[in-house]
Chain A
Amino acid sequence: MENTLEKTLNFLTEILQSLGMTVKGRSILIEGEDGEYDIEVDGKTLVLPTEETLKLSKWDKEIAFFPLCESTLRGESEVQHEVLSMVKGALNVRLASLLWELFKVANSEECKANKLSPEQAEFLPHIPGFDANMVKNMGKLVLGVDPTEYKTSLIHMNLKRRTKINGQPFDRACLVRFPLAEMERKEKPFGVELRVKDMDALLSLLDYVLPDWQIENSYSRGTDSKVAPYFVATLMAYQNINARITLLAKRFVPTFPKFGALVNEDNWVECMDDLHRMRDCMPNLPGNDGAVVRGGGNGGDAPIITNEPKVARSAPMPTKTQPNLPWEEQSQAQSAPAQPTHRAPAADDDVVEYVPRQAVHPQAGQIPVGHEQTYATPGTVPAGYGSTNGPSFAEIQRSRMQGPAYAAVNQPPPVGGSSFSSDYRGADTTGNVNGYNVGYVTPAANQYAQPTGRGY
């Protein structure tokens, strides 16, 4: 039992660190403008459930981070709310940073001197009509990203119980939406005035960074896990996007060390096989076991959303480039390319909006401080690549959503090899393949796939 306890604490620590938190002893800290701060959940301090925490049991002042004990009968717990807002924060800031850094790379001396490796240069065709002003404009846009509001998020996530993703039913799902995809052409994204070519470049680059992002639910993830299903769904959705950002960022690290801050390894994924044992190694802890769900614990009658493949807008169509990720190859191998159609504005009535309570901490800081690689010094404006007067990278880290830089190497799990346990398994609509593509469903893939082997 002792070993499991240790393993569980390591697992929780790794997740927190991946989400940009610092763990010191039993404290969970967040980098702020002038130092590190405790995280508050429900008016209590978030702490790691170490032996000391359990011994002290100051449950009127502290709340332990143990989302694994979430009851399958209940709704989202307070801690789960916090996890979701951490994930949203981390992904929004990382994606915004990545986009802006790519624009800066396009404007860099190295790029102009044709010194980028072929792998690095791969994104250049995805910025049509690039000019130096774009970097500045994108900087403004990135500064406008605020994950606490739906309209100002690059990535929005909310959790749902008993729902369908592309026709496949799940006990719990983390629905990922991209507000930009639902935006009207004439709207100012995040309140920033952009030129038409800026917008085209942005959307096109997003197509490169997150292929199929405009197709509804292409990044949503569902699960039938019997252990902490909301938590698992959130982690699956997080890991999927984070892995992609990490993969792209790593290509640039040798030439542009700044990208190091966007590299976040997901070593904790292998522990997902052992969720049962980790959950059972300590009792249920307050604030983690979930909120009361009225009208029946076994699921309730959550409205089921239907997701026919739709596309957001008449803006540049996603142009598929060479498949460069295992999961892309996989989905293509099994299905015809997705055929996006026009999508109506999202019907809000069938999606329970999640309103983050603490998504931005007042004391939250600006600069991501890596564990091994320091990307920028807190409080200073890092030098950009090329000539740009846009906001600094530091400035866009307006909330706590910063990513520590890991020096470890990202290895996407091998295709076909399962890195998830059966109870963690998600949308396995592609039949027998249960590898990195777990939970990733393209609408077209779903069209042909037999819904076999759902996790239980």
Chain B
Amino acid sequence: MNKGVKILSILLAEAPPSPQLYVRPWEVNWRDGYTDQLLEATNDGANLSSGAIRQVATEMLVPAAAHGGAVNIANGFGFTRSTVTLVVETEDIGGRKTQEIISGYTDHMGIGGTDTNPTYNREMRFFFNHMGTLQITSGSGHEGYGMYQFGNATEILTPMTGWDSNGDIPIVNRKATTMRPKDVMASLGEGAFAGMGVHDDNGSKLNGAPVLGNTSYQFGSRAKRSSFDNNVSSEFLSRVFTGVRDTMLDNATDQRQYGNALQKASESKYINEPMTSNSAMLLLLQRRSQFQQEWSVTLGELLNIDHTITSRIQPIKMRVQDRQTAAAIMTNTDGWESTSFEGQVAQLATLIMPNAMSKFALGHLHFIAHTETLDGSVDVRVVNMAGIAQGIDPRSIINMIKQHIAFEIFPALTMGRFKIHIEANVSLNRISTITVGINGGIKKPFPIASYCSALYSPCLAPNPTVLEKVAGDLSGVASQLTAAAMNLGPGLIHSQPPAQVMDYGSGSIASTPLSNVQFTNPNAAGQMPGGGTSRGF
């Protein structure tokens, strides 16, 4: 229950044109032997955590190398626009304050006037791309300092493929479907998994078979949220496998009340995603603007909600030399449309990075990683980084970040097959550049507009066939893992679910220590996870 919603600030930053981007949904790259490898790695289906299956998962689930069509954005990619970051403060009735950070982009730059006296176009349209919550415990942290935790990081998926400025309506791909683990489960709910119900985002339960063909993974009038975790193959597969296994186990072990078992399955906590209605700001927009119909709002509509926000807009215009740099990046690219292993790795980097960055509450991370060292070990150099919001200083955890790059991000990017050299300069709400060289080959730069990542999310399928392919490919191995686990008996199964986006701050977070990182105020002396200090860093 929210007591109040307050827009603290709106950051508007000029964004240069970006290269044309393309849809590359998840694709199963199947090799025989994966089933055996997975059975071994998971101890016969007992431990389906992302860590256990990571090695196979990175080879098995990859963004499609061949693109599935061009991404459309309002006014096209060759257009200067602004990126937008809304910082919203919500307060529940208990007085606990939470910040929602909602990022996206506008349809045009919309900033006029002079630097000292800027003006804004009321018709400027805000599209929201991703969001997360920054939990604040004011004054109750170690030594009296506040602590922060960033969680519930999700992309905001819509079937929108652009904006018709003439008709002032969204251009919609009616065939678009979400392809999050819960959607894969819903699609699996036929055949072997008949009877496995799944929640849809509205909260309505879709019990019974066949689930395929229902609307649970089609867009209604709703935007849908997809956890950043779903952009990491091991997390994605872990959720699917765990969801299938535990749902089937619930069904099998609760024979007395079949209906009850179905209900349990439909409430499967392993695959839940945050809903748009979980966000106080999005809920407010749904109620007080055309957001529900247009998946975007104009500045005018925001002003109708709160007419004082103009004073809290922080405009950032690019310097001339920055514009030149941006133009150079635009021309210096291998092109996202081409089908290559380099492009596939770059795409993977753009997917994995925001997830990792959200775990560390980073808004910007620039690193270089390669194995061109004497002993073949991974060399990681962090060039630059910045916190996701004002007041967050990640310097104290740089070693943790390096570790994460070396042992989590880098191995995933190799897809288990390549020797890569990667330079990733990623900003969550700017143009990022990923430069990839494979097996000592030429390093190819791939600039990408991270601020619209939801448009090319791997969990957004341009048509249901893409989802059916992934679900069909995973059904065999999921059922084998489940069967193996059932032979073990429920008692031996690790019931701990993989990282939960819903339960940040609650007990289940222990399964992913890195997401437990708590950040200190910049003026606090390196408060470390678990309340320790930064001695070791």
Q: Give residues 284-336 of A contacting B (CB, 8 Å).
A: 284-286, 289, 292-299
**Is A54 in the interface zone, CB < 8 Å from B?**
yes
- For B118, what are the chain A residues with a Cβ–Cβ distance below 8 Å? none
Which of A36-44, A70-78, A393-401 forms part of the interface with chain B? A70-78
| Cβ B479 vs Cβ A59 within 8 A | no
| Cross-chain contact of B341 among A59, A283, A289 (Cβ < 8 A) | A283
| Cβ A283 vs Cβ B192 within 8 A | no
| Cross-chain contact of A298 among B33, B35, B338, B340 (Cβ < 8 A) | B35
**Is A349 in the interface zone, CB < 8 Å from B?**
no
With both beta carbons as reference points, the residue of chain B lying nearest to A293 in the complex is identified as B472
| Cβ A284 vs Cβ B192 within 8 A | no
Q: How far is the CA of A347 from the CA of B108 in the complex (A)?
A: 66
Q: How far is the CA of A283 from the CA of B357 in the complex (A)?
A: 28
- For B338, what are the chain A residues with a Cβ–Cβ distance below 8 Å? 54-57
Q: How far is the CA of A72 from the CA of B465 in the complex (A)?
A: 18
| Cβ B66 vs Cβ A292 within 8 A | no
**Is A1 in the interface zone, CB < 8 Å from B?**
yes
Closest chain A CB from B345 CB (angstroms): 11
11 other A-B residue contacts (CB within 8 Å) besides A59-B67, A71-B473: A1-B439, A55-B338, A57-B337, A57-B338, A59-B68, A71-B30, A74-B473, A283-B340, A285-B66, A286-B64, A297-B473
| Cβ B32 vs Cβ A226 within 8 A | yes
**Is B74 in the interface zone, CB < 8 Å from A?**
no
| Cross-chain contact of B476 among A56, A282, A292, A297 (Cβ < 8 A) | A297
- For A285, what are the chain B residues with a Cβ–Cβ distance below 8 Å? 65-66, 339
With both beta carbons as reference points, the residue of chain B lying nearest to A171 in the complex is identified as B32
- For B29, what are the chain A residues with a Cβ–Cβ distance below 8 Å? 284
**Is B122 in the interface zone, CB < 8 Å from A?**
no
Encoded as 1 (CB less than 8 Å from any A CB) or 0, chain B from 472 to 483 comes to: 111111011000
| Cβ B340 vs Cβ A54 within 8 A | yes
**Is B267 in the interface zone, CB < 8 Å from A?**
no
With both beta carbons as reference points, the residue of chain A lying nearest to B474 in the complex is identified as A297
**Is A348 in the interface zone, CB < 8 Å from B?**
no
Q: How far is the CA of A73 from the CA of B477 in the complex (A)?
A: 10
**Which one of A56, A285, A297 has the highest number of Cβ atoms from chain B below 10 Å of its Cβ?**
A297
| Cross-chain contact of B190 among A57, A280, A294, A298 (Cβ < 8 A) | A294
Closest chain B CB from A275 CB (angstroms): 12
**Is B469 in the interface zone, CB < 8 Å from A?**
yes
24 contacts between A and B (CB under 8 A): A54-B339, A56-B337, A56-B338, A57-B337, A71-B30, A71-B473, A73-B28, A283-B339, A284-B27, A284-B65, A285-B65, A285-B66, A285-B339, A286-B66, A292-B468, A294-B191, A294-B468, A295-B190, A296-B191, A296-B475, A297-B476, A298-B35, A298-B476, A298-B477
- For B33, what are the chain A residues with a Cβ–Cβ distance below 8 Å? 226
Q: How far is the CA of A284 from the CA of B474 in the complex (A)?
A: 17
**Is A119 in the interface zone, CB < 8 Å from B?**
no
**Is B69 in the interface zone, CB < 8 Å from A?**
yes
Encoded as 1 (CB less than 8 Å from any B CB) or 0, chain A from 261 to 287 comes to: 000000000000000000010111110
- Given contacts A54-B338, A54-B340, A71-B28, whether A297 and B66 have CB atoms under 8 Å apart is no
- For B96, what are the chain A residues with a Cβ–Cβ distance below 8 Å? none
With both beta carbons as reference points, the residue of chain A lying nearest to B191 in the complex is identified as A295
Encoded as 1 (CB less than 8 Å from any A CB) or 0, chain B from 296 to 307 comes to: 000000000000
Q: Give residues 327-376 of A contacting B (CB, 8 Å).
A: none
- For A283, what are the chain B residues with a Cβ–Cβ distance below 8 Å? 65-66, 339-341, 344
| Cβ B479 vs Cβ A57 within 8 A | no
Q: Give residues 220-261 of A contacting B (CB, 8 Å).
A: 226
| Cβ A280 vs Cβ B417 within 8 A | yes
**In the complex, how many residues of chain B place their beta carbon closer than 8 angstroms to a beta carbon of chain A?**
37
With both beta carbons as reference points, the residue of chain A lying nearest to B190 in the complex is identified as A294
- For A54, what are the chain B residues with a Cβ–Cβ distance below 8 Å? 338-340
Closest chain A CB from B483 CB (angstroms): 11
Q: How far is the CA of A73 from the CA of B65 in the complex (A)?
A: 19
Closest chain A CB from B6 CB (angstroms): 47
| Cβ A73 vs Cβ B339 within 8 A | no
| Cβ B475 vs Cβ A292 within 8 A | no
Q: How far is the CA of A104 from the CA of B434 in the complex (A)?
A: 67
- Given contacts A73-B30, A283-B339, whether A296 and B192 have CB atoms under 8 Å apart is yes
With both beta carbons as reference points, the residue of chain B lying nearest to A290 in the complex is identified as B469
Q: How far is the CA of A293 from the CA of B472 in the complex (A)?
A: 6
**Which one of A54, A283, A293, A298 has the highest number of Cβ atoms from chain B below 10 Å of its Cβ?**
A283
| Cross-chain contact of B472 among A56, A59, A284, A294 (Cβ < 8 A) | A294
- For B477, what are the chain A residues with a Cβ–Cβ distance below 8 Å? 297-298
With both beta carbons as reference points, the residue of chain A lying nearest to B33 in the complex is identified as A226
Q: How far is the CA of A294 from the CA of B69 in the complex (A)?
A: 25
With both beta carbons as reference points, the residue of chain A lying nearest to B464 in the complex is identified as A292
Q: How far is the CA of A286 from the CA of B66 in the complex (A)?
A: 7
Encoded as 1 (CB less than 8 Å from any A CB) or 0, chain B from 12 to 39 comes to: 0000000000000001111111010000
- For A298, what are the chain B residues with a Cβ–Cβ distance below 8 Å? 35, 476-477, 480
| Cβ B473 vs Cβ A73 within 8 A | yes
Encoded as 1 (CB less than 8 Å from any A CB) or 0, chain B from 483 to 515 comes to: 000000000000000000000000000000000
- Given contacts A72-B30, A297-B477, whether A292 and B469 have CB atoms under 8 Å apart is yes
- For A282, what are the chain B residues with a Cβ–Cβ distance below 8 Å? 339
With both beta carbons as reference points, the residue of chain B lying nearest to A285 in the complex is identified as B66
Q: How far is the CA of A289 from the CA of B65 in the complex (A)?
A: 12
Encoded as 1 (CB less than 8 Å from any A CB) or 0, chain B from 26 to 61 comes to: 011111110100000000000000000000000000
With both beta carbons as reference points, the residue of chain B lying nearest to A287 in the complex is identified as B66
- Given contacts A1-B439, A298-B480, whether A73 and B344 have CB atoms under 8 Å apart is no
Q: How far is the CA of A299 from the CA of B476 in the complex (A)?
A: 8
- For B191, what are the chain A residues with a Cβ–Cβ distance below 8 Å? 294-296
Q: Give residues 320-356 of B contacting A (CB, 8 Å).
A: 335, 337-341, 344
- For B68, what are the chain A residues with a Cβ–Cβ distance below 8 Å? 59, 286
Closest chain B CB from A145 CB (angstroms): 36
Closest chain B CB from A139 CB (angstroms): 47
| Cross-chain contact of A60 among B30, B69, B465 (Cβ < 8 A) | B69
Closest chain B CB from A229 CB (angstroms): 10
Closest chain B CB from A297 CB (angstroms): 4
Q: How far is the CA of A71 from the CA of B31 in the complex (A)?
A: 8
| Cβ A292 vs Cβ B465 within 8 A | yes
- Given contacts A74-B472, A292-B472, A296-B191, whether A57 and B67 have CB atoms under 8 Å apart is yes
- For A55, what are the chain B residues with a Cβ–Cβ distance below 8 Å? 335, 338-340
Closest chain A CB from B379 CB (angstroms): 23
Q: How far is the CA of A226 from the CA of B32 in the complex (A)?
A: 6
Q: How far is the CA of A286 from the CA of B480 in the complex (A)?
A: 27
| Cβ A296 vs Cβ B476 within 8 A | yes
Q: How far is the CA of A56 from the CA of B32 in the complex (A)?
A: 31
Q: Give residues 49-76 of A contacting B (CB, 8 Å).
A: 54-57, 59-60, 71-74
Q: How far is the CA of A73 from the CA of B191 in the complex (A)?
A: 16
Closest chain B CB from A232 CB (angstroms): 13
Closest chain A CB from B49 CB (angstroms): 23
**Which one of B68, B338, B477 has the highest number of Cβ atoms from chain A below 10 Å of its Cβ?**
B338
| Cβ B476 vs Cβ A59 within 8 A | no
Q: How far is the CA of A226 from the CA of B338 in the complex (A)?
A: 28
| Cross-chain contact of A73 among B192, B335, B439, B472 (Cβ < 8 A) | B472
Closest chain B CB from A137 CB (angstroms): 50
Q: How far is the CA of A439 from the CA of B479 in the complex (A)?
A: 32
Q: Give residues 178-230 of A contacting B (CB, 8 Å).
A: 226
Closest chain B CB from A23 CB (angstroms): 20
| Cβ A297 vs Cβ B472 within 8 A | yes
| Cβ B32 vs Cβ A72 within 8 A | yes
- For A57, what are the chain B residues with a Cβ–Cβ distance below 8 Å? 66-67, 337-339
Q: How far is the CA of A100 from the CA of B69 in the complex (A)?
A: 50
Q: How far is the CA of A289 from the CA of B341 in the complex (A)?
A: 17
Q: How far is the CA of A251 from the CA of B195 in the complex (A)?
A: 64
- For B339, what are the chain A residues with a Cβ–Cβ distance below 8 Å? 54-55, 57, 282-283, 285
Q: How far is the CA of A289 from the CA of B69 in the complex (A)?
A: 17
Q: How far is the CA of A286 from the CA of B468 in the complex (A)?
A: 15
Q: How far is the CA of A292 from the CA of B469 in the complex (A)?
A: 5
- For B417, what are the chain A residues with a Cβ–Cβ distance below 8 Å? 280
- For B66, what are the chain A residues with a Cβ–Cβ distance below 8 Å? 57, 59, 283-286
